[in-house]
Amino acid sequence: LTERQRSLQEIYDRLSLSQYELKGLLSLPQGTNLALLSPSVSQEKAYQPILAGDVSAQEWQALKSRPEMREDILQKNIALDDIRREVIKTFPGGELLFSYNRDGNQFLQQGDWTIFSASIAQNILNIFTLPFRYSAAKDKATLADAKRQALSAAILAQVHIARQRLGNSEKVYKNSVRSSKVLRHRSGTALAAKETGFSSGYDSLITRMDGQIDLLRSQMAMADLQDSYAAMVGTLGGRLSESGGVR
């Protein structure tokens, strides 16, 4: 009996801390009373399409949808533009001038004339510093590409880890559901035995406590499963809808 009381106290301590954490995430006062609702059948099974989905497709989805990946691709494109910009800066600037002039002075032999000129100018410093500027811009592009590859590898690893965690959470939850069914059957048998006088009240109490402990553990397993599902959705770069699906 003492061992079962200790188990109940440990579960209560964990749930009470989770309540404070949830209120903090929701930006609610700690004195707020929360009413938690059990997930619907569709919400309970919302994770199943992910586990049944193709891993390669999920990897590609994560690479396309994660905002940090899009940011790294943008930085890579900016670095490539910098290379082209440094090369273009070395080209000399050209200037063309064409003008038509007319003067009404009668003493001039020709009162109409045109002027055309062309000039090319360039800062000599841009020419001499081109190799250094080009090398710096190329190194920047190489670094951006290396960062993108490292981020890609990290995202792919996160997809596999999150999927494995989701699968493990599903197994724990299903085992807890099966265990709850067995204990409910045992509790009913113990209650019937008590009513017929074949069992003591102590045995019935122990059975009910075991059933309550297993029920709480089953609910905690469902919470862990939902947390793993949310983490998997975040890893894929998606968002959860009100129905529990991915959008």
Q: Comparing 174 with 115, which gets the higher pLDDT?
A: 174
How is residue 9 written in tokens? Answer: 């106290």
User: With contact defined as beta carbons under 8 Å apart, do 211 and 184 qualify?
Assistant: yes
Q: Which of 179, 198, 178, 177 is nearest to 189 (CA)?
A: 198
pLDDT tens readout for residues 176-224: 888 877 777 666 666 666 566 555 566 666 777 777 777 788 888 888 8
Q: What is the token pair recorded at 169? A: 């959470």
Helix, strand, or coil (residue 233): helix
The residue that leads in pLDDT, 100 or 155, is 155
Distance between CA atoms of 147 and 68, rounded to whole angstroms?
11
Select the highest-mean-pLDDT range: 43-47, 81-85, 118-122, 226-230: 226-230
Q: What is the rounded CA–CA span in Å between residue 14 and residue 213?
A: 13
Task: Answer whether residue 236 shows pLDDT above 80.
Answer: yes
Domain assignments of the chain as residue spans, ordered by start: 1-36, 42-83+127-235, 92-124
Q: What's the angle, vertex CA 164, arms to CA 12 and CA 70, rounded to 5?
A: 105
Say which residue the tokens 């190194």 belong to: 139
The answer to whether residues 149 and 76 touch, using CB atoms and an 8 Å cutoff, is no
Give the sign of the dihedral formed by CA 92, CA 93, CA 99, CA 105. negative
Question: What local confidence, expressed as pLDDT, does residue 243 receive?
Answer: 47
Inter-residue contact 225 to 173 (CB < 8 Å): yes
Q: What is the DSSP letter of 28?
A: -
Q: What is the pLDDT of residue 111?
A: 66
Mean pLDDT, the chain, whole residue set: 79
Taking residues 41-62, report their average pLDDT. 85
pLDDT in tens, 11-26: 777 777 878 888 888 8
Of 39, 38, 62, give the one whose Cα is nearest residue 50: 62
Pick from 94, 92, 97: which is nearest to 117 by CA? 97
